[in-house]
Amino acid sequence: MPYDQKLDKCVFQKVWENEGERLTVSLFSYNNGAKKLQISRENKDAHGEFRFGKLGRLRKDELEAILPFMQEALKNMD
């Protein structure tokens, strides 16, 4: 069965942003299945627009910022 975006529901989302990047912690449920955590990174380009970037590694300040979001997401996984 191919992926169908209409079946992918975002049930939780919190965003942390600083001057040059944005991290998003989300919970998604595909076709009413198990909720799964997603962390995404966006970086600002030369025009000030956010563009998707590889998550890669997190700095300490980034982890400290999104850790409460991850804990809140965990509570929403039941």
Looking at residue 24, its pLDDT comes to: 98
* 41 burial via Cβ count (<10 Å: 0-12, 13-18, 19+): middle
pLDDT surpassing 90 at residue 9: yes
Residue 1 pLDDT > 80: no
The H-or-E segment that residue 23 falls in is strand 21-30
Tell me the per-residue pLDDT of 36-57, one tens digit each, with 9 for 90 and over. Answer: 999 999 999 999 999 999 999 9
Pair 76, 18: CB distance under 8 Å: no
Number of neighbours of residue 4 by Cβ within 10 angstroms: 9
pTM of the model: 0.90
Residue recorded with tokens 């209409």: 6
